[in-house]
Amino acid sequence: MSLERNKAVIRSLFEALNEQNLALLDKLVAPDYVDHTLQIRGLESLKQYIPMLPKGFPDLRENIEDIIAEGDKVWIRFEVTGTHKGVYRGLPPTNKKFTIRAVSIYRIVDSKVVEREAIYDWLDFFKQLGLIEYTEEGKKHFPDAT
């Protein structure tokens, strides 16, 4: 498998996710897919998870900023944007916009994603939604971050 082909698989995956095209996932994701970050096992579990995102964030977009391939792995740095307009994992809507950056590592076998692990800045995400605030002591130490 060529490195460029592996990158193309990930670009197609992001397109499918942004468009909520669950049918395209059959071509891009292996049936025994594992997402270590979201604790999802299997393609069908992924298909159940994906539709809940636009319920909480109807304008959610994930945009790849950098992409690197080596062997059977593809690393991406990406930006996630959206507005919290609906319930997400039990959190009532805040109507606040957010922008966070993340990094994911995908493993690809036979042109299908078999594994993913990601790092998100969840603290910044919850802060932007107004769910976490600095304490008075924190504001003294980090005045520009409040």
Q: What is the CATH number of the domain that holds 29?
A: 3.10.450.50
CB neighbour list of residue 87: distance below 8 Å, 6 or more residues apart = 55, 56, 93
Q: Tokens for 73, please give them.
A: 């792995």
Is 28 in a helix, a strand, or coil? helix
Q: Is the entire prediction scored with pTM above 0.95?
A: no
pLDDT at 79: 97
Q: pLDDT tens digits, the chain, 146 residues: what are they?
A: 699 999 999 999 999 999 999 999 999 999 999 999 999 999 999 999 998 889 999 999 999 999 999 999 999 999 999 999 999 888 899 999 999 999 999 999 999 999 999 999 988 999 999 988 888 888 888 887 65
Residue-range definition of the domain harbouring residue 112: 3-145
pLDDT at 52: 87
Give the number of domains in the chain: 1
First-to-last CA distance in the chain? 47
pLDDT at 26: 95
